[in-house]
Amino acid sequence: MTGPLARILARPRPVLLDGAVGTELARRGVPSGLPLWSAHAFLDSRWVCVLRGIHEDYARAGAEILVTNTFRTTRRALERADRGGDWRTFNEIAVACARDATARAGGPCLVAGGIAPLEDCYSPRLVPPDADCLAEHARQVELLARLGVDLILIETMNCAREARAALAAARASGLDVLLSLCPEAPGRLLSGEPLQDVVPGLVEAGGDTLRGILLNCADPDTLQLVFPRFLALAPELPHGLYAHLGERDPVSGWRMPARHEPERYADWAVRRIEEGARLVGGCCGTTPDHIAALGRRIAG
């Protein structure tokens, strides 16, 4: 394993991911209504500047991997908002913003092309047929690879069959790949499939490009329950996780928590590192302050 992600995973200390982008855009005044959600950032040059600033803040907070703002930039998602013609442009801006932020922050951050579920993250019943999943994820991965991302992060996957399709698409790119699953307690995907039944097959589907397997988009209490059992699966790969703070909202996309406690989140994440996590970061509701607090713990 000689890719850029493999090199930082070879170090003894954990790899620090960034935190939320979609909810941070909303927190900074960018519209976040569905179906575009975080893709609203591409509709106005002022909002693009906000997006670039968020990436830069995460880089300065110590994040080593910045994830592109491509959670809702598939052609399927954009067509739902009558913006399908902007598909290529929005993805180009997303990658450029992450790259520019890395340069401005002066840090050697890797840029991960974010691949999300084609439909709603919390609704496995809406996952399209397998052939559609493969074709659409392949189109998105191919574009992100051409735009020069360093790796692919497949995240918030709520069922095994879409995860397999995304892995097949990512594997064809030849880039390093991380896979993150969306779980529920005590140890299932949101689809109800037991993790112990699906993870071995997903690792096989990822082949020699899969560099790590994670959990995300669940609250800290849920991940705390699921993670120890998850660690026992695929012992040949690094494991990781990143929790959300707050809860989903059917109109705005996300309801922020009443309180933000970066140090408390860092305490929680450090306990997961002590259990064996090799990749840690933040999901919806987390901020650069949360990543900075966690970065200080890792550095110490």
pLDDT 10s digits, 132-161 = 999 999 999 999 999 999 999 999 999 999
Alpha helix stretches (DSSP H) within 28-150 = 45-61, 75-80, 87-105, 130-146
Q: Give me the pLDDT at residue 220, please.
A: 95
Comparing CA positions, the residue from 135, 64, 48 lying closest to residue 291 is 64
Q: Give me the pLDDT at residue 240, please.
A: 98
Local structure of residue 14 (DSSP, 8 states): P
- Cβ neighbours, 10 Å, residue 269: 29
Decide if pLDDT at 94 tops 70.
Answer: yes
The three-state secondary structure class of 201 is helix
Q: Give me the pLDDT at residue 254, please.
A: 61
Average pLDDT over residues 230-241: 96
Give the span between the Cα atoms of 172 and 195, in whole angstroms: 25
Comparing CA positions, the residue from 278, 296, 283 lying closest to residue 238 is 278
Rounded to two decimals, the pTM is: 0.96
Q: Give me the pLDDT at residue 247, please.
A: 74
Decide if pLDDT at 1 tops 70.
Answer: no
Kindly state the tokens that stand for 162. 């879409």
Q: Give me the pLDDT at residue 107, please.
A: 76
By DSSP bridging, strand 247-249 and strand 253-255 are antiparallel
Domains of the chain, first to last: 4-299 (3.20.20.330)
Kindly state the tokens that stand for 64. 């080593």
Q: Give me the pLDDT at residue 218, please.
A: 95
**Per-residue confidence band for 34, with pLDDT thresholds at 50, 70 and 90:** confident
8 Å CB contact between 47 and 92: no
